Structure 1
Amino acid sequence: MPLAPLVKAHPEPARWREQYAVIEEMRRGLNAPVDTIIERALPAQTRRFHVLISLMLSSQTKDAVTSAAVTNLHLTLPGGLTCTSLAAADRGVVEGCIAKVGFWRRKAEYIQEAARRIEMGEIGDDGSFIGEEGEGSMVGTGKGEIPRTIEGLCALKGVGPKMAYLALQCAWDINAGIGVDVHVHRITNRLKWHRPPTVTPEQTRVNLESWLPRELHKGINPMLVGFGQMICQPVGPRCDICLLGIRKLCPSRVSGVKAEGRKPVLFSYKLDGEGDMEDMIKPDLGPGPEVQGTDGGQGVVPVLDGRDGVGAEGDGMERLVRMKSEELDGSELFLGRKGGVKLEDS
């Protein structure tokens, strides 16, 4: 369960507003895996269930793999992915659909149990069990609907505080708190936003929530997740192209980082001291898939990146192909960084 709020607010970091604004500036020009999440046009109740299942499958799994697993379930189960179809499905079929996600056997058990409990309306808003005879909490979301409280969501096996906060934000549009994953935890500590440094994501969450303006609670997760995937990586952070370091706003900057021998990161923001964006465009990006920048294909610049996978969270740094709208069929919507969420570990 989540930690209690701090009795006394954590001190507000001296230059956090400058740092936040610079990260926002970089994120506007970065195409990160978190920005490629696709959501189908579904009935509201079913869409909320998809959000929850995506989050439950996402731990230790790349975004693209999570998305593919949810698509497999939706295309394989009779009538699509709903709590009813998932609860009734053969375990082997479910495992086959999600076999590429991390800990797939355990997750198959968890998502089917969650589907059964949601279908029966067993979970009260306080997380207690609602039985057939009315024992336990009598207040809940009703049969077929995912919980709408942190307590109710955390009553499901496989759902921790980070997933619960993100589920409320993305499924119910309820801003109950900050979803802190490994990226948010790592980056805010590198920026020295926590004194002393926090040890767990939950400590990070309660610290941030004590001083960060509430209107930023929802957006900080996708902003820092994408920044962490592409620039402030766990191993080999790209300090050579990070505006925080260039502007002397990062206390953890690693000097002497070189780009040679690293895979490309695509960005469309202007580095300090560089010319206009038109001067930065490379005439030949070499063979490979077409990549569309955030400004409609203009100003996309290759910068060298690191390894194929980074750390336990498995954030691959492969070249990102951002799907054009015409490549999606009528049942799908592209979610950019305003609507997308990072689906990662709990």
Structure 2
Amino acid sequence: MAITKPKADNRPTEIIKRLKKEYPDARCSLNYSNPLELLVATILSAQCTDERVNKVTETLFRKYRTAADYASAPLQELEKDIRSTGFYRNKAKSIKGACAKIVEQFGGKVPRSMEELLTLPGVARKTANVVLGNAFGIASGVVVDTHVHRLAGRLGLSDKKQPEKIEEDLMQAFPKKEWILLPHLLIYHGRKVCKARGPLCGSCVLCDICPSCEAQGALKNVRLKLD
């Protein structure tokens, strides 16, 4: 079967279109009901699965309701509450420090700008982008986690190694209206198909426009899902 490839400059549009069709329910995998809960959950998600974080926060969010609750909590008690997420000492310090600053400088409310969020202890661009995009609907950038990092490289969207540089490339490649959804689509695809080990190129909806897929000779087995 002859395959007509989209023009190179149309690949981002084609990638988004196909992944939206493949994963219509793609969304943030962390459970939360307000910006503070998402901030805490995102800090806990470092080097931890979202599934584990959701199990921990199910109890944590009932115990700590406000930024002041976290800020005033004894450090060792908070460490115990989040221990199973790993790196719990650093995470507890970050949560307490961030919440203390939220109380002292932002009236107890999670700030709504990248500049302000980056002043919080333990908050870098990835966490700030997660909170701004998912809690506030503000497209300030693109979340770059391990899945997004891997897929950006395999799809030829970025050849950079630093998350900030990868984010810049993705922001240039995709329209701003897609910045919030894009990482969710890539994460879903990374977990299901484009895995770190043993990517399932033969069943990938992006295979015919993916340089890594073509390089592995999987193009002949591609299962296209086009309109």
Deviation at 1:155, TM superposition (A): 1.4
Question: Could you say which residue in structure 2 is the equivalent of 1:58?
Answer: 45
Deviation at 1:98, TM superposition (A): 0.7
Larger helix percent? 2
Is 1:249 the counterpart of 2:213? The answer is no
Gap change, CA 1:23 and 1:212, over 3 Å in 2: same
TM-score normalised by length of structure 1: 0.57
Amino acid of the structure 1 residue aligned with 2:184: P
Amino acid of the structure 2 residue aligned with 1:39: Y
Trace 1:174-253 onto structure 2 (pairs within 5 A). 174-194=138-158, 197-245=159-207, 248-253=208-213
Question: Could you say which residue in structure 2 is the equivalent of 1:90?
Answer: 74
| Cα distance between partner residues in 1 of 2:107 and 2:164 | 30
Larger strand percent? 1
Q: Structure 1 unaligned segments of length 5 or more: list them.
A: 1-11, 41-46, 122-141, 257-270, 274-346
Amino acid of the structure 2 residue aligned with 1:184: V
Alignment check: 8 A CA contact 1:38 1:67 kept: yes
**CA offsets 1:264-298 (integer angstroms, 9 cap, x no match):** xxxxxxx559xxxxxxxxxxxxxxxxxxxxxxxxx
Gap change, CA 1:106 and 1:186, over 3 Å in 2: same
| Cα distance between partner residues in 2 of 1:52 and 1:61 | 15
Trace 1:1-346 onto structure 2 (pairs within 5 A). 13-28=9-24, 36-40=29-33, 47-75=34-62, 77=63, 80-121=64-105, 142-194=106-158, 197-245=159-207, 248-253=208-213, 254-255=216-217, 271-272=223-224
Aligned residues: 212
Higher relative contact order (CA 8 A, sep 6+): 1
**CA offsets 1:200-224 (integer angstroms, 9 cap, x no match):** 1111111121231111111101111
Gap change, CA 1:59 and 1:119, over 3 Å in 2: same
Among the aligned pairs, what percent are the same residue?
A: 28
Deviation at 1:160, TM superposition (A): 0.9
**CA offsets 1:134-172 (integer angstroms, 9 cap, x no match):** xxxxxxxx3101122212111122111111112111222
Amino acid of the structure 1 residue aligned with 2:148: V
**CA offsets 1:60-92 (integer angstroms, 9 cap, x no match):** 1100111122222223x3xx4311111111222
Amino acid of the structure 2 residue aligned with 1:222: H
Amino acid of the structure 2 residue aligned with 1:203: K
Question: Could you say which residue in structure 1 is the equivalent of 2:3?
Answer: none
Alignment check: 8 A CA contact 2:30 2:38 kept: no
| Cα distance between partner residues in 1 of 2:196 and 2:117 | 29
Deviation at 1:35, TM superposition (A): 5.8
Alignment check: 8 A CA contact 1:27 1:226 kept: yes
Deviation at 1:38, TM superposition (A): 3.0
| Cα distance between partner residues in 1 of 2:224 and 2:167 | 32
| Cα distance between partner residues in 2 of 1:90 and 1:204 | 38
Deviation at 1:100, TM superposition (A): 1.1
Gap change, CA 1:272 and 1:13, over 3 Å in 2: closer
Amino acid of the structure 1 residue aligned with 2:50: D
Hey, which bits of structure 1, 4+ residues long, moved more than 6 A?
none
> Cα RMSD (Å) of the superposition?
2.2
| Cα distance between partner residues in 2 of 1:35 and 1:219 | 9
Alignment check: 8 A CA contact 2:148 2:186 kept: yes
Deviation at 1:15, TM superposition (A): 2.5
Alignment check: 8 A CA contact 2:12 2:173 kept: no
Alignment check: 8 A CA contact 1:209 1:217 kept: yes
